[in-house]
Structure 1
């Protein structure tokens, strides 16, 4: 699995870049936001490597949060890499979190390839993943959340408590959250 690529920009188009590294040239699909931010001849991208029976594709991201957004979107039913990349091209990650939080179907319909039914389905499915108001959480927060859920606490309660916790590691977050939940 290719999780990143670093090299010389050989060719740049609005939706892809060719990156030369180690004697090979890779075609990496990028969002319009990432493409417009690429100004150097030498870049490093976070990548999602998709292998299908008809080929292999690399999708590249300058911003790790944009990659997380893309990875989350392609897991939704009816959303493939092209639609996910169109969403990434239309919204920056923090803007998209706001669209989901507000359940703004009209803004989501502005994405090419998304109609009213698709927009509604995407918002419903993303609500189940609970993106919330904030940017994607750290792995420690996600691990703490799973640990607390396995102990039987409700997701809403866990989110409220974890938002007030100051620890940086998983164990510290779980201990701090448990102490605060005892007081509730």
Structure 2
């Protein structure tokens, strides 16, 4: 099992990133909550990881905090929730926000996430309630330990990257385009645009 990765961030295109560890490149999928904490490309990064081994593939998932990884591992144990849906959940809301939804029986917020219907939301609340009984709020520091970076200038390229990332997270292309168009992208990089679009979607 690979539980931790520390190396140089080579590339990041949500939900995928590449980390070089002594000449070996690790392809990792991560939720947007982790992407918001990543350093710039070519900078050191440390991620908590979870390895999923299937007959046809091996996939490594990375998280900015142990808190996030713990929630991911709990989510994929829920009947009908796979790694892709767990990433979508952690991308659409923070771990603390998800815990609040479970504790407050807030299925309305959960069904705004891609792939989460009414029955899945109810199942998540029912099965996760006991697992999150001792949940304590945690606000992770950036994955490189530095302060959050300022937004990059907005551009059509950033909008396109945001749309592609939302599609990869499970949103349909027309919906992803509408989500990006509904937010002000001026002065924002793709991660910031995605954050705003997901926040608006969940709060609808």
Could you tell me the TM-score, scaled by structure 1's length?
0.70
Q: 2:72 is paired with a residue of what secondary structure?
A: helix
Q: Which residue of 1 aligns with 2:21?
A: 21
Larger radius of gyration: 1
Structure 2 matches for 1:11-160, cutoff 5 A? 11-40=11-40, 41-129=43-131, 131-132=132-133, 134-135=135-136
* Root mean square deviation of aligned Cα: 1.6
Residue deviations 1:111-160 (CA, integer Å, cap 9, x gap): 1111111111111111243x127328xxxxxxxxxxxxxxxxxxxxxxxx
5+ residue gaps, structure 2: 138-204
CA distance in 2, matches of 1:11, 1:93: 25
Supply the distance in 2 between the matched residues of 1:6 and 1:30 (Cα, whole angstroms).
15
Q: Which has the higher contact order (CA 8 A, sep 6+)?
A: 2
Secondary structure, aligned partner of 2:36: helix
- 1:23-56 deviation digits (Å, cap 9, x = unpaired): 2101110111211221241100000011111111
Question: Quick check: which one's helix share is greater?
Answer: 1
Distance (Å, rounded) in 2 between the aligned partners of 1:134 and 1:121 = 18
**Equivalent residues, number:** 136
Contact 1:48 1:58 in 2 (8 A): yes
Conserved in 2, the CA contact under 8 Å of 1:101 and 1:133? no
- 1:168 aligned partner: none
Q: Which ranges in structure 1 are unaligned for 5 or more consecutive residues?
A: 137-184
TM-score, normalised to structure 2, is 0.63
Distance 1:119 1:135 in 2: 22
